[in-house]
Amino acid sequence: MEKKEAGQRISKLRELINYHRYNYHVLDKEEISSAALDSLKHELFLLEKEFPEFITPDSPTQRVGGQPLKEFKKVSHKVAMISLEDAFSQEELLDWEKYISKLSGAKVLQYFCELKIDGFAISLIYQNGIFVNGSTRGNGLVGEDVTQNLKTIESLPLKLELHKGLPKDLEQNIQEALDDGQIEIRGEVYMTKKEFARVNEERGLQGLELYANPRNLAAGSIRQLDPKIAASRKLSFLAYDLITDFGQTTHSQDHQILKALGFKTDSGQICDSIQETLDYCKRIEDKREKLPHLIDGIVININDNDTFTQLGVAGKAPRGARAFKFSAQEGTTIIQDIKVQVGRTGTITPVAYLKPVEIGGTTVTRATLHNIDQIQRLGAKIGDTVIVQRAGDVIPAVTKVFTELRTGKEKEFKMPKACPVCNTELIRPAGEVAYRCPNKECFGRKKEFLYHFVSKKGFDIDGLGPEIIDQLMEAGLIHNPQDIFKIKKSNIIDLERFAEKSATNLIEAISKSKKISFNNFIFSLGIRHVGENTADDLGQVFGSIQNLMQASEEQLKRIPDIGPKVAQSILEWFSDKNNIKMIQSLQELGIEIAKYQKHGGKLSGKTFVITGTLDSFSREIAGEKIINLGGHVGNTVSKATDYLVVGADPGSKLKKAQELGVKVLNEEEFLEIIK
């Protein structure tokens, strides 16, 4: 390719890649697959490698690269990065409104509410539209230059382009700054729950210490001297403040401008009263666990910029804003004892028995300490005062010990030499952090395995929870999975907790569960290192249980995200004659393992997108139901979308669907389709 032709091709590729970056990260719209986008980026990389004279700082290829730094340079903030004062109750917000109403002299105040992402605050500087510097908050006046690491974040634009939709006067002022001027943006670097789980799952397989929470991991990633580490973490960026004055009059306008410049930002909500604000906070708190990222509250700003400025700053916080904090996800308490429990694969986990503490609306009495190495890293002892953290469905964990509060009466924990259930001597395989009970007949292991077998992602037997399983095992009615499908009504009707109706319901639930999807069946087997995602990957590749049983190590390792350790674990499980016998026995008892069907089914060829909160079940379960019927679940609305399922508080996807003429279903209509 000639130099001139290469230059033109490079320019067009950059423009196309930036267009799709904006669509995906700002408009939540995916017109091409990630594989196709990666292919475009690769072509650009090869062309720039051949013609390096065309490489510019804002090229998409410059996101990952650069040599590790020796240290971070200090950066002074022209406008201080101040923090917000917190409010924890309705009364505090009402008092705040009285205070600012009196100071401002305004009889009616309008508020702008936005999510308070649990992330890491960053300031960005763009010169003539090109990203030139990014720095941390530091002490508010001086931060650290982390530009190289910030460039690795896909949702952070390297070059600003003005998208239409703003008033003419604003567009003109912004365009002048893009052509010849400086623009400063503030925002939050964060990590999604899904990405955090992926990183920790990988570390767990490697026997490494697990990270405590997404916020600390995001902050730690940005403060790595090697940008390749930050790039591997797949961080996200959300803009929340525009420092540069373009003549905007409200904070909601700040957000409109940020979006028009190519930033992902929370659309938030304008509230005309403090009561409307409180109602919004309540709605968000109720669904916070369903959000893809952690939030710890709502930021409430006076929407009018002049009033906000007039109110000024008190101490280190603006008077015109408050951070309304949700129920704490952390709390302090005392470790009253440490005991170990045995898992389904024999893993021995130390568990802290706590003085009961209220965290996020739930009373917590136990927390995991993961393994003996983690106990030693924390320096945890029985009697210590500790921080306990919980997030959604994640098991509460001890994250910090206050050694300063020790009295001298604390006791060290020692790992037992034998299994607490079967008394078999524990082993610690080379290269692993966990101790294990090697006895496959251990009652504790069998009990945990049965809990897993009937769980929601396994056979999903309604009414057969841990307490009932314990009762049936103690009564000698079940010893293994096969026994569950041999239970008769007459066996259980006289047991405690059972009566005519409950016994009938359980037998019907067991019978109903006999038809199971391939991935759920694989998950139910409890194969070490095989979780929900891996089970789905195995289904896509092998299709049936018979094919999987005959799989070779090479076939397994060709599957993305399945390495030697996971492949070996699968092979070992299927090489055990007792496991094969269990599968055969289950099939003889009438268990029907459906072949994995990526296509076919009632909703075959149909693409659904879900927005808002559903009453009947979570969006994740709704997605599973669509997939089980042969349909596809998309993240963004496009011309290829067949249906948009709308729950309460739908986002911008509803408007997009209406613009494109996509069929919109309410929850009742959706339930009718999947019934």
Q: 173 pLDDT exceeds 60? A: yes
For the segment 197-220, the average pLDDT, to the nearest whole number, is 78
Q: Is the pLDDT of residue 613 over 70?
A: yes
pLDDT in the model for residue 597? 56
pLDDT tens digits, 88-138: 788 989 999 999 999 988 888 999 999 999 888 999 999 999 999 999 988
Structural domains of the chain ordered from first start: 3-63 (1.10.287.610), 86-325 (3.30.470.30), 330-405 (2.40.50.140), 443-593 (1.10.150.20), 607-674 (3.40.50.10190)
pLDDT at 556: 87
Nearest Cα residue to 436 out of 345, 570, 527 = 345
- Say what the pLDDT of residue 379 is: 93
pLDDT greater than 90 at residue 263:
yes
* Burial of residue 408 (number of CB atoms within 10 Å: 0-12, 13-18, 19+): exposed
Q: Is the pLDDT of residue 28 over 80?
A: no
* pTM score above 0.85: no
pLDDT at 6: 87
Query: Which of 58 and 605 is assigned the larger pLDDT?
Result: 58
Q: What percent of the chain has pLDDT over 70?
A: 92
Q: Tens digit of pLDDT for each residue in 234-252? A: 899 999 999 999 999 999 9
pLDDT in tens, 513-530: 999 988 889 999 999 888
Closest among 192, 195, 21, 197 to 117, alpha carbons compared:
192
**59-73, 128-142, 178-192, 194-208: which range is least confident on average?**
59-73
Token reading at 22: 């904006």
CB-count exposure of residue 85 (10 Å: 0-12, 13-18, 19+): middle
Q: Is the pLDDT of residue 497 over 50?
A: yes
Task: Give the start-end residues of each E strand in 561-601.
Answer: 592-593
Query: Across all residues in the chain, what is the average pLDDT?
Result: 86
Residue 114, strand partner residues:
299
Query: Please, which pLDDT band fits residue 617 given cuts at 50, 70 and 90?
Result: confident
Mean pLDDT of 188-209: 82
DSSP secondary structure of 284-339: HHHTGGGSSS-EEEEEEEESBHHHHHHH-EETTEETTEEEEE-S-SEEEEEEEEEE
Q: What is the pLDDT of residue 29?
A: 72
Question: What average pLDDT does range 451-463 have in this prediction?
Answer: 90
Average pLDDT of the residues in 476-490: 92
- Residue with the bigger pLDDT between 627 and 275: it is 275
Top pLDDT among 546 and 22 is at: 546
Q: What is the pLDDT of residue 360?
A: 67
The two three-digit tokens of residue 592, written as one number:
């029907």
pLDDT value at residue 599: 45
pLDDT of res. 605:
66
Percent of the chain past pLDDT 90, that is, above it, reads: 42
Residue that wins the pLDDT comparison between 603 and 509:
509
The confidence band for 437, taking pLDDT boundaries of 50, 70 and 90, is very high
- Residue 553: is its pLDDT beyond 60? yes
Contacts of 151 (CB under 8 A, 6+ apart): 62, 63, 64, 66, 131, 134, 158, 227
122 versus 315: the higher-pLDDT residue is 122
User: Considering all CA atoms of the chain, what is the largest pairwise distance in Å, rounded to the nearest integer?
Assistant: 86
Q: Which of 212-226, 555-569, 588-602 has the lowest mean pLDDT?
A: 588-602
- Give the mean model confidence (pLDDT) for residues 281-298: 87
Q: Please give the positions annotated as active site.
A: 116
